[in-house]
Amino acid sequence: MNIGVISTRLAGTDGVSLESAKVVTIAEQAGHQTYYCAGELDPELKKRGLEDGRLHFEDPLAKQLHDRAFVEKEAAETLLPDIAKRAAELKRPLRQFLTQNEIQFVITQNTFAIPMQLPLAQALAELMAELKLPGLAHNHDFYWERPRFLHSQIEPFLDQFFPPNLPGLSHATINSLAQTALKQRRGLDSLVIPNVFDFHTPPPGIDDFNADFRRAIGLEPDDWLILQPTRVIPRKGIELSIELLHQLGDPRAKLVITHKAGDEGLEYLHELQALAKGKNVAFIYAGDLVDDQRHEAGDKKIYSLWDAYPHADLVTYPSYIEGFGNALIETVYFMLPAVVNRYPVYAADIGPLGFQFAEIDWEITPETVETVRGWLENPETAIPATTHNYELGKQHFSHQTLFELLWPLFK
């Protein structure tokens, strides 16, 4: 059958885009044809897709409606008619996509979960109901999980469309906490789809293209590359990574930030840079040299995130909140030691499986520092833990896991 994948953005290295690609892989293995519709698409996806900027969460009108709802907290009586008006406009490109590609099944990626594009959710839910289209809502972040969405005058609207209860629409969450909350709040059953990697294929290593990555970001041969492979936003807790390096007190330790800042403004990046300077921590912002795909821009190399991992000595993952933990499972895949904050989903779904990380509870302790120092000074001492973690990852978070979960839906 023809499957339509719909989201605000299917591009780059954000978790929604990455996990969407893995679900699509399973659908295609089951013999289905996939098409894409979003406000932004990766170049490869445009060949089988419709890109319309009005669907993006950064669309000016979408942002305006978002701010009216969650910043100004405007009354529903005046806000909802404007959302409905925009939803009617968005139905035109959505209908075009669905009909031209003869879509028989829809996979929504976070469209019905986080309310950054209010009219898109209404438009798509109404269209799917009208056309009696079955589908899967892959829900990564629900509105009640983010404090900024908890206070508004449109809560009945949110409960109607985030997510909607439609005939033929199945739901997937990415952790057990969200699964329980969805059942309690909305009475909706859901399938838990964790972040996964192809653990049956060895991770890529150092090759001719990425061999110079350390030099390109300004590291000396003896430096320790401490990798922070996350977006630069406050909930990632990067100040804890800075504190770790501060307490290590070793000039060889360099904290490397791989993702471009700006998703939630640049203020947090500037705060981190000032904090690192004040604590005498080497803070390398490499976001301008790392993209979702390796390529060359003029005479400058642009590396992928997977070009950075083989060079890393340690990964820091001190997040306060995560939907699951894509970069953490990626770290397991690349067999690297890691420092992990016990954020709620980790404590519920990942930690109990028996992974061996240097765990912290919202603060850096002397014990954590000494564990990390041992790994960095004697890398062979980390091998038992990283090997153990890889085998656990293969067991619980492999493509085979995803295949077994989704095959009944797509077969």
Instruction: State the pLDDT at residue 195.
Output: 86
What residue type is assigned to position 323 of the chain?
A: G
Is the full-model pTM beyond 0.85?
no
Instruction: State the pLDDT at residue 263.
Output: 72
DSSP 147-202: GGGSS-S-HHHHHHHSS---TTEEEEESSHHHHHHHHHHH----EE----B-TTSP
Give the domains, in start order, of the chain with CATH numbers. 2-193 (3.40.50.2000), 213-396 (3.40.50.2000)
The CA distance from 155 to 21, in Å, is: 31
Q: Residue 373's closest CA among 245, 228, 267?
A: 245
Cα–Cα separations (whole angstroms), residue 188 to 129, 163, 331: 17, 9, 33
Helix (H), strand (E) at residue 92: helix 76-100
Instruction: State the pLDDT at residue 240.
Output: 98
What residue type is assigned to position 135 of the chain?
A: G
The CA distance from 232 to 236, in Å, is: 7
Is the bond preceding residue 366 a cis peptide, omega within 30 degrees? no
Residue 55 tokens, joined:
């669907």
Cα–Cα separations (whole angstroms), residue 150 to 35, 153, 237, 402: 34, 10, 22, 32
The CA distance from 292 to 44, in Å, is: 13
Instruction: State the pLDDT at residue 13.
Output: 64
Tell me the helices (H) and strands (E) count for the chain, helix number first.
16, 16
pLDDT tens series, the chain, 411 aa = 999 999 999 987 677 887 888 888 888 888 999 999 999 999 888 989 999 999 999 999 999 999 999 999 999 999 999 999 999 999 999 999 999 999 999 999 999 999 999 999 999 999 999 999 999 999 998 999 888 999 999 999 999 999 999 999 999 999 999 999 999 999 999 999 998 888 989 999 999 999 999 999 999 999 999 999 998 999 999 999 999 999 999 999 999 999 888 877 899 999 999 999 999 999 999 999 998 789 988 888 999 999 999 999 999 999 998 988 889 999 999 999 999 999 999 999 999 999 999 999 999 999 999 999 999 999 999 999 999 999 999 999 998 888 888 888 877
Task: Decide the pairing of beta strands 295-297 and 300-304.
Answer: antiparallel
User: At CA 64, angle to CA 63 and CA 70, rounded to 5?
Assistant: 85
Burial class (CB in 10 A: 0-12, 13-18, 19+), 346: buried
